[in-house]
Chains A and B, each alone.
Chain A
Amino acid sequence: MKVLIPTPLLSYTGVREVDAEGATLDAVLTDLDRRYPGIRFRVIDEQGRLRRHVRFFADGGQIFDPAHPLRADDTLVLVQALSGG
């Protein structure tokens, strides 16, 4: 599927739109990390929890669970939430 990368993570991918595979959000992020080592830990912690200020969207909705199923024709959007002062 397509994955859209936010600006602060372009240092890993070099481009805004990349491909990754997987049946769940967790699996897609694992595959993304295989292609761009180190990127997964910036958005999901070592206990498998989504980072507080990163948001994930697919199929028009926000995803809160790493086990959320995804389809090959989905577009996964990673968003850096600029919260705080």
Chain B
Amino acid sequence: MNGSEGTIMVLVATRKGAWFFHSDTARRTWRVEGPQLLGQIVSHAVLDPRDGRTLLAAARTGHLGPTLFRSTDLGRHWSEAVQPPAFARAPQGTAGRTVDHTFWLTPAPAGEPGCWYAGTSPQGLFRSTDGGVHWTPFSCLNDDPQYIRWMGTVQDGTPDGPKLHSIIIDPRDPAHLYIGMSGGGVHESRDAGRSFAPLLNGLEVVEGFDRADPSFHDPHCIRMCPSAPDRLYQQNHCGVYRLDRPGDEWVRIGRNVPAEVGDIGFPLVVHPRDAERAWIFPMDGTDVWPRTSPGGRPAVYGTRDGGASWQRLDRGLPPQQAWWTVKRQSMCADGLDPLGLYFGTTSGELWTSADEGEHWQCIARHLPEILAVETGHPSAAAT
């Protein structure tokens, strides 16, 4: 852990700005700091784990074009990116694509300080090597006619627009990348993003559509296990899956979630030290997709055996009439021992568990709709 002894920071990105929550490793009391960037639609806010002081926040307002805000003093001062993620200018006479907002931020592994990846809506992949000040596009993906066809149109995407997300860098090999596109499927690169290939075997699609066509695949959230980077978990539009490399066949482990709850949802969290453990937040994905907790009774489900079985974890959560849910970036873990889990709701509540999901506590209410929750460990120099 690269951070000062005993401090934890939870970064909550919302539709109206960002809020930061601070605590010590006991995680019994929290100090709130915010709002930050009030009025900005903040899709993702991430503290750089490599230096514990650089914050990036992907933002746009309803009026101006998108940008990325950057702070090197934990949010006391912010400045906008000099060159935010933007697609290449299209040839004369063609429409070209425009970035509506940056959706996802991933810092590169420790061996590449200052390097970040960003995923946008509509789907685009970008990289910065100067801590988020300048961003350059991955043309092989963003401008490739085949990939653009697989990305589909705005009509094929999620309500807030189609997205590129779940940018995963293999900590053993920074040239090995995974990405997810909603829609467009899961893709892998082994040459630092110069080329990508679909990784879709075993994944289901909505009934009646062609599984072989990446256009019809909709991964919601993909996570690599830090303790076993050959293991990936995925929450998909069509269930929860696991993939163990070098295999290429996803296995639907969500079939083992109780059928009355189902395995549809958006976020997925993996344990940083135990690849058998993961957590999901099922939602109602029946009928017209209400995107609420099933039956109005929210619960986290956790597995201790790689998805062979799942346990309901709802102690402390509302027992009934709670119709919120959790977006794909709004659930995370803190890396401490015992592991802390966190999720933010569409109704603006922040929930925490300091005992790996056994008990839950609400530490903030009445925030705007929560779009992302991340944890970080500020460096002693930054606090």
Check A11/B98 contact, CB under 8 A, given A47-B89, A53-B62, A54-B64.
no
Query: In the assembled complex, how far is the CB of residue A50 from the closest CB belonging to chain B, in whole angstroms?
Result: 10
The segment from B75-83, B105-113, B184-192 that touches chain A is B75-83
Instruction: Name the residue of chain B whose CB is nearest to the CB of A49.
Output: B98
* B172 interfacial contact with A, CB 8 Å: no
- The interface on chain B, measured as residues whose beta carbon lies within 8 A of the other chain's beta carbons, has a size of 24
Binds B, one of A19-27, A56-64, A66-74, A76-84: A76-84
Number of A-B contacts (CB under 8 A): 63
Q: Which residues of the partner chain B approach A42 to less than 8 Å between Cβ atoms?
A: 64-65, 67, 80
Residues in chain B near residue A82, CB distance under 8 A? 63
- Closest Cβ of chain B to A27, distance in Å, is 16
A84 touches B99 (CB 8 A): no
Question: A12 — nearest CB in chain B belongs to which residue?
Answer: B80
Q: In this assembly, does A16 line the interface, its C-beta being within 8 Å of a C-beta of chain B?
A: no
Encode B77-103 as 1/0 by CB contact (under 8 A) with A.
011111110111110000111110000
**For residue A8, which residues in chain B have a CB less than 8 angstroms away from its CB?**
61, 63-64
A49 to B80, CA, bound (A): 21
* In the complex, chain B residues whose CB is within 8 Å of the CB of A48: 89
Cα of A42 to Cα of B82 in the assembled complex, Å:
11
Instruction: Say how far A72's CB is from chain B's closest CB, in angstroms.
Output: 27
Interface members, chain A 9-48 (any B CB < 8 Å): 9, 11-12, 37-38, 41-48
Interface SS, B side: loop
B35-73 vs A, Cβ < 8 Å mask (1 yes, 0 no): 000000000000000000000000001111111000000
A interface secondary structure, majority = loop
| Set of chain B residues within 8 Å of A37, measured between Cβ atoms | 82-83
Give Cα A37 to B86, complex, Å: 14
Report which residue of B64, B83, B84, B97 has the largest number of chain A beta carbons within 10 angstroms of its beta carbon.
B64
Could you tell me the distance in whole angstroms from the C-beta of A29 to the nearest C-beta in chain B?
12
For chain B residues 118-157, which have a beta carbon within 8 Å of chain A? none
Inter-chain contacts of A80 with B (CB < 8 A):
63-64
Distance in Å: Cβ of A34 to nearest Cβ of chain B: 11
Is the beta-carbon distance between B64 and A9 smaller than 8 angstroms? yes
Contact B80 A47 (CB under 8 A): no
A residues in contact with B97, CB < 8 Å? 47
How far apart sit A83 and B65, CA to CA, in the bound complex (Å)? Answer: 15
User: Cβ of A45 and Cβ of B98 under 8 Å apart?
Assistant: yes
Note all chain A residues with C-beta closer than 8 A to B86. 41, 45-46
Do B98 and A41 touch (CB < 8 A)?
no
- Say whether B63 contacts A53, CB under 8 Å: yes
> Do B64 and A81 touch across chains, with their CB atoms under 8 A apart?
no
Q: How far is the CA of A54 from the CA of B97 in the complex (A)?
A: 19
Q: Per a CB cutoff under 8 Å, which of B64, B81, B84, B89 touches A51?
A: B64
For B96, list chain A residues within 8 Å (CB): 46-47
**Assuming A46-B89, A48-B89, is B82 touching A81 (CB within 8 A)?**
no
**Alpha-carbon gap, A82 to B64, bound state (A):** 10
Give A51 to B84 CA distance when docked, in angstroms.
Answer: 15
Contact A47 B95 (CB under 8 A): yes
Whole-angstrom CA separation of A37 from B134 in the bound complex: 10
Which residues of chain B are within 8 angstroms of A12 by Cβ–Cβ distance?
Answer: 80
Chain B CB count within 10 A is highest, among A42, A48, A53, A84, for A42
Q: Mark B292-312, 1 if CB is under 8 A from A, else 0.
A: 000000000000000000000
- 4 further A-B pairs in the complex, CB-CB below 8 A; given A37-B83, A45-B99, A53-B63: A38-B67, A43-B65, A47-B95, A47-B97
Q: Footprint of B on A, CB under 8 Å? A: 8-9, 11-12, 37-38, 41-49, 51, 53-54, 80-84
For the complex of A and B, list the 4 residue pairs with the smallest distance between their C-beta atoms, beginning with the closest: A37-B82, A46-B86, A53-B63, A47-B96
